Copies of this chain bind each other. A is one copy, B any other.
Amino acid sequence: MQKLPRAVRRLIEKFERLPGIGPKSAQRLVFYLLHNPDHELEDFAERLIALKKETVTCEICHNVSESNPCSICTDSSRDKNVLCVVEQPLDLLALERSEQFKGLYHVLHGSISPLNNIGPDQIFLKDLLGRLDGVEELIVATNPTMEGEATALYISELITNRLGDNSPRITRIGHGLPVGADIEYADGVTLARALEGRRKI
């Protein structure tokens, strides 16, 4: 049987390892790239190498950034009394897009997930405690998944146990129906949360 050239196979292997890309998609991507000019591939390769060389993790909030500390942590116009905990840098970005939150962030880079051997020590949780001095509210914006909920609960208990009366107000982002959704098609858990979170109009 005719086999693919080695260089093609080796690149397919790399693409296959990316999340959400199966063997068929990887093949298609590599054959697409084969039709690209040489300089396009070199440019792609350069950008891959630059990805980690030109980015740092902010040592305060752990966001991915060009500078350390990052532009949010050093922005004097932001409210230092409110801290928002998120799982991933992309979550931070989504919250920034909403243009509603003017405080600071703390990026965990994951959530507690015993099934995947990820405990509190495998995420950036430890130094969160050291950041709470003077903070009035801590918004826990982890995902509304099992892992995200467990992480939120863990954070809340950890802080209350350690800081006692000095703990900031700990809140969880609201759960319920997303804007534009259909009640008819909403799942039961979401509806239950939406009812729990009801507000006076």
List residues 30-88 of chain A with CB under 8 A from any CB of chain B: 30-35, 38, 41-55, 64-66, 71-72, 88
- Looking at the assembled complex, report how far the CB atom of A77 sits from the nearest CB atom of chain B, in whole angstroms: 13
Interface secondary structure of A, over-half rule: helix
What B residues does A28 contact at CB under 8 A? 19-20, 90
- One digit per residue, 1 when the CB lies within 8 angstroms of any chain B CB and 0 when it does not, for chain A 17-28 equals 011110001011
- In the complex, the answer to whether B54 meets A7 with C-beta atoms within 8 Å is yes
What B residues does A198 contact at CB under 8 A? none
Binding site for B on A (CB under 8 A): 1-2, 4-8, 10-11, 14, 18-21, 25, 27-35, 38, 41-55, 64-66, 71-72, 88-90, 92-93, 96-97, 99, 109
28 pairs, A vs B, C-beta closer than 8 Å: A1-B96, A1-B99, A2-B71, A4-B93, A5-B66, A6-B54, A6-B66, A7-B51, A7-B53, A7-B55, A8-B64, A10-B47, A10-B50, A14-B43, A14-B47, A18-B29, A18-B32, A19-B28, A20-B28, A31-B88, A31-B89, A34-B51, A34-B52, A34-B55, A42-B48, A42-B49, A45-B45, A45-B46
